[in-house]
Amino acid sequence: MFKNLKAELDSILERDPAARSRLEVYLLYSGFRAVRSYRKANWFYRHNMKLIARYISQRARHKTGVEIHPAATIGKGLFIDHGMGVVIGETAEIGDYCTLYQGVTLGGTGKDHGKRHPTLGNNVMVGSGAKILGPFKVGDNARVAAGAVVLSEVPEGATAVGVPAKVARINGEKPYDLDQIHVSDPVQQEMADLQDACTAMSAQLVQLLNRMEACQKECFKKK
């Protein structure tokens, strides 16, 4: 138990430049307290003591601002930064060493039954205020930009940006930098590509018109 606790504390220290010690994280980080409370509630839920499980989760929600359903499945090393307003639904699944910022929702759309909430792979980063809604997967090492609304699957190593979110490929690298803002926007990239194509076509058209004028002049000279 102490080995797992130390590993979780160290994983937060690695990802949060503001954290100074394990003791500070253990005593003062609301996201860490929320995850610890979830693990207790999840134990009671799996042992069919659901009322106690819900009591623990609701008490943690009141104290930390983070609402995690005790039936959710969460891997090791989850880091919830700041935490206020984070919601993790009943059938949500989160892999190892994921990072969630404040205001993140892993929720349902209201139209699904059974598995209603998303599944996050390993090392996924979800930016502030992002909403991931529905029973689909966000692949390993993926990133969801701040404020994005994700309604469909995000491939491994990709970035989801915008409302509704569009998917842009990155290099499939683990997102160690945890940058929520400077991520590639696929819509802007497509617009830039179209503008470049229009510029190239305009240059070719000018060349073609110049050649036609030159040909016409040559024809008049011969006459």
DSSP string, the chain: -HHHHHHHHHHHHHH-TT---HHHHHHH-HHHHHHHHHHHHHHHHHTT-HHHHHHHHHHHHHHHS-EE-TT-EE-TT-EESS-TT-EE-TT-EE-TT-EE-TT-EEE--SS--SS-S-EE-TT-EE-TT-EEESS-EE-TT-EE-TT-EE-S-B-TTEEEETTTTEEEE------TT--SSS---HHHHHHHHHHHHHHHHHHHHHHHHHHHHHHHHHHHHH-
Query: What pLDDT does 171 receive?
Result: 60
What length is written for the chain?
223
Q: What confidence score (pLDDT) does residue 126 get?
A: 94
pLDDT of residue 33: 92
Give pLDDT, residue 217: 75
What was the pLDDT predicted at 150?
Answer: 93
pLDDT of amino acid 177? 53
Q: Which residues of the chain have pLDDT under 50?
A: 176
Taking only the tens place, the pLDDT of each residue in 89-134 is 999 999 999 999 999 999 988 887 889 999 999 999 999 999 999 9
Please tell me the pTM assigned to this model.
0.72
